[in-house]
Amino acid sequence: MKLAVVGATGLVGQEVLRVLEERKFQFDELYLVASAKSVGQTIRFKNKDYSIISMEECCKLVPDVAIFSAGGGTSLEWAPKFAEMGTIVIDNSSAWRMDPTKKLIVPEINGHELKIDDRIIANPNCSTIQMVMALAPLHVKYKLKRIVVSTYQSVTGTGKDAVQQMMDERNKVEGQKVYPHRIDMNALPHIDVFTENGYTKEEMKMVNETRKILGDQTIGVTSTTVRIPTIGGHAEAVNAEFYHDFSLSEVRETLVNTPGIIVQDNPKNNLYPMPITAHGKDEVFVGRLRRDESQPNTLNMWVVADNLRKGAATNAVQIAEFMLEKSLVY
């Protein structure tokens, strides 16, 4: 099996390589791809040096699976070319997520939708993935009516330059600015660009992607996304209204028994999910479970996950594993 990692020098690409090694993903050949300025450089992976190659060269080599983490423009240009050669492209950008001809996949939730002729598969937005992981099993039991979510998102979601801006500000060093304002010691209610309706693209991703993944266009979703000066992962305050009532004990039991979820919900002992403890983990952490006492059938929860892991790299590798396990690679 020939595997390609596109965008191998970026934050997500580097995390993909770590996840591949940790999960002992099996391949016969590995191609690492990055921008033209990186071609010829080497990356060490599993005690072997791999030379970075160009997109053109990689496409000609026809990998069986290519995990793209190189931005929307690159994906729009190159994913169809790879797919035409027969490669399965698993894309981490937003380029294909809302394309009605492409699947938007979280394997634990809707992996069953994948078919052998799916050549371009979209990996959802990081903040969407962790929220639907926590809500999907509850949607099955109680049926979601409306979601109100506020996010507190790591600078790693923007990339290496954003991390550098935060550290420069922390160390009182002048450097390149990625954000329109200072990020260290601050909170920016501004992720991606603003759209005509006053929401950001990130906020609208959470609305539209949630409905697509859960397969229910009737769910009301409203979102406020905020960038904060942390590195370990994204956190979300989620308020979910259901059509059917629930007991907190049953909700907790359902989540405890959901693969990929870890419940940390013991406030008396100061146990609840945090980015610092989610960092480097593949699971989605859920806590602060409590009823919304202002209206019926409504639950409050706090959801945290490493945005570079389950929010990007791990989910992409899990899609590849699923395709191989179900013999959907030819």
Catalytic site residue 59?
Answer: no
- The DSSP code sequence of 46-77 is TTEEEEEE-HHHHHHH--SEEEE-S-HHHHHH
Site of tokens 């420069």: 168
Q: How many angstroms separate the Cα of 283 from the Cα of each of 8, 233, 256, 280, 314?
A: 23, 11, 12, 9, 9
Active-site residue among 59, 126, 139, 279?
126
Tell me the C-alpha distance between 219 and 215, whole Å. 9
Q: Is 126 a catalytic residue?
A: yes
Query: Residue 17: enclosing H or E segment and its boundaries?
Result: helix 11-22
Given the residues 58, 59, 139, 234, select the one marked as catalytic.
234
Among candidate residues 69, 195, 166, the one with its CA nearest the CA of residue 126: 69
Give 241's strand partners. Answer: 146, 298
Element spanning 267, H or E: none
d(CA 222, CA 235): 16
Helices of type H across 85-124: 107-110
Q: Is the dihedral of CA 54, 56, 57, 59 positive or negative?
A: positive
**CA separation for the pair 108, 130 (Å, rounded):** 12
Report the 10 Å Cβ neighbour count for 259.
Answer: 9
For the four alpha carbons of 234, 235, 241 and 242, in that order, the dihedral sign comes to positive
Q: Catalytic positions, please?
A: 126, 234
